[in-house]
A and B are shown apart, each in its own frame.
Chain A
Amino acid sequence: DGGITQSPKYLFRKEGQNVTLSCEQNLNHDAMYWYRQDPGQGLRLIYYSQIVNDFQKGDIAEGYSVSREKKESFPLTVTSAQKNPTAFYLCASTLDSIGWFFGPGTRLTVL
């Protein structure tokens, strides 16, 4: 079955640590995205990538980093510079900008 997978489902981080969230898709989609969702707020774009080895900052990129070495993979690193990282992180992909598909998400909590 084609789809998007994210891991882990839950992640706990101590202050000052970097953590990496995984996003993999086997839909053969070119474009991939990372969003963050906080209670009472809409999804906000962190980073996106339209093609392998290229990515752009979204609206709230500070404190985050990404890589796109393979078409199927778009990992997100939450660095210690991100002051309020506790949130629900969603990865998405699209082929033709007609349908975006989301992974099941990772809930990150800072201890």
Chain B
Amino acid sequence: RKEVEQDPGPFNVPEGATVAFNCTYSNSASQSFFWYRQDCRKEPKLLMSVYSSGNEDGRFTAQLNRASQYISLLIRDSKLSDSATYLCVVNPTTGGGNKLTFGTGTQLKVEL
């Protein structure tokens, strides 16, 4: 089983749609969780951290379910500019200098 699993997509959605991505992780001791966005042939950029209480940033909402080892990202009112690959990222332990484990990414294409 992969340490971090994501549906690779692509998810093709019309502009204005709501889309949800899911991610599961295998290490129950994992401490911190993130969603990164990666545009084609560019570096990943932090979209948002994910907290147990859930967090929202504008049109984006992230949720963490520790019991099920499951992370989600919800995008409301999709824009063309949201088209990218979304990477689920897990940091297994606390402390400085720890390693991130990446999912393979979920590709989103927002269409007119």
Interfacial residues, chain A to chain B (CB-CB below 8 A):
30-31, 33, 35, 40-45, 48-51, 58, 88, 90, 92, 94-105, 107
Our pick among A33, A58, A90, A98 for the contact of B43 (Cβ within 8 Å) is A90
Partner of B96, one of A50, A58, A103, A105: A50
- Chain B residues close to A by CB (< 8 Å): 4, 8, 32, 34, 41-46, 49, 87, 91, 94-105
> Are A31 and B96 closer than 8 Å at their CB atoms?
yes
Known contacts A97-B96, A97-B97, A42 near B32 by CB under 8 Å = no
- Chain A: minimal CB distance from B25 (Å): 12
| Total A-B residue contacts, Cβ distance less than 8 Å | 63
Cβ B43 vs Cβ A95 within 8 A = no
- 8 cross-chain pairs, A with B, having the tightest CB-CB distances, nearest first: A50-B97, A42-B102, A31-B97, A102-B43, A43-B102, A42-B104, A105-B43, A97-B98
B110 to chain A, nearest CB (A): 21
Within the complex, the shortest CB–CB distance from A100 to chain B, in Å, comes to 6
Chain A nearest Cβ from B85, distance in angstroms: 11
Residues of A near B41 (CB, < 8 A) are 88, 107
When distances are taken between beta carbons in the complex, the residues of chain B under 8 Å from A105 are 42-43
Q: Is there an interface contact between B96 and A96, defined as CB atoms closer than 8 Å?
A: yes
Distance from B43 Cβ to chain A, minimum over Cβ atoms (Å): 4
- Cβ of B44 and Cβ of A90 under 8 Å apart? yes
Cβ A100 vs Cβ B100 within 8 A:
yes
B102 & A30 in contact (Cβ 8 Å cutoff) = no
> Could you jot down 8 A-B contacts, CB within 8 Å?
A42-B102, A43-B87, A44-B102, A88-B41, A95-B96, A97-B32, A97-B98, A107-B41
List, in ascending order, chain A residues with CB within 8 A of B98's CB.
Answer: 97
Report the separation of the CA atoms of residues A58 and B43 in the bound assembly, to the nearest whole angstrom. 19
Determine if B44 and A98 form an interchain contact, defined as CB atoms under 8 angstroms apart.
no
Given contacts A42-B4, A42-B87, A42-B103, whether A97 and B95 have CB atoms under 8 Å apart is yes
Complex CA distance for A51 and B97, rounded to whole angstroms: 8
Q: Please give me the residue from chain B that is nearest to A103 by CB atom.
A: B43
Q: Please, how many angstroms separate the alpha-carbon atoms of A41 and B3 in the complex?
A: 13
